[in-house]
Amino acid sequence: MSKELSKFISLVLRHEPTKFGVVLDSAGWTSIDVLIDRIRASGFPDVDRAALDAVVENNNKKRFTISDDGLRIRAAQGHSVEVDLGLASKQPPAVLYHGTATTNLESIKDKGLLPGKRQHVHLSSDQDTAISVGTRYGKPVVLSVDASRMFEDGIRFFQAENGVWLTDTVPAKYLDIDQAIAATRSR
């Protein structure tokens, strides 16, 4: 149940809070008690605080954050609803990675990386995570992002509480697309 519960909580906290009667404040926080009540009403009748805490603690992607006072919860990143996570701009590592499917490469060559329905483009500090992300969308490919040059050119980066790097867009000129295509063809 924990994987299904985790996916449901992600849906509520990242994408469709109002559909389930949950109100997020401007920073994405909501009451844990209200969330548990709405989870129970949505087909998980046995969920209690211990079950919610286990999902938060055991989620390998650390998608959720509980407030210091233990009363509120929010998604760490990945929102398609408007929230301000209050993250400070931060200098990224020299290279970051983006995992996607090979079928997206032509569009990325033209437009770069766009956030789609989410607020930000998500980037990883390691290739393994990027491969895992890309696998969700089809045959994976990993793009290297020249984050150092982007930062020098004034593009802002943020790092979510779970370590995911966020930025508004990644123009194609900062991507090593040709190398990603060559690597994909040699597999």
The answer on 173 and 99 residing in a single domain is yes
The CA angle 148-150-156, to the nearest 5 degrees, is 105
Q: Does residue 81 form part of some domain?
A: no
Domain identity same for 99 and 177 = yes
Inter-residue contact 92 to 165 (CB < 8 Å): yes
In this structure, the answer to whether residues 102 and 176 fall within a common structural domain is yes
- 140 and 62 co-located in one domain: no
Q: What is the predicted pLDDT for the residue at 175?
A: 96
- What percentage of residues in the chain have a pLDDT greater than 90? 80
Query: Is the predicted pLDDT of residue 4 greater than 90, yes or no?
Result: yes
Q: What is the pLDDT of residues 55-103, one digit of tens each?
A: 999 988 899 999 999 999 999 999 999 999 999 999 999 999 999 998 9
pLDDT at 172: 95
What are 46-56's pLDDT values in tens digits? 999 999 999 99
Highest mean pLDDT among 66-70, 129-133, 134-138: 66-70
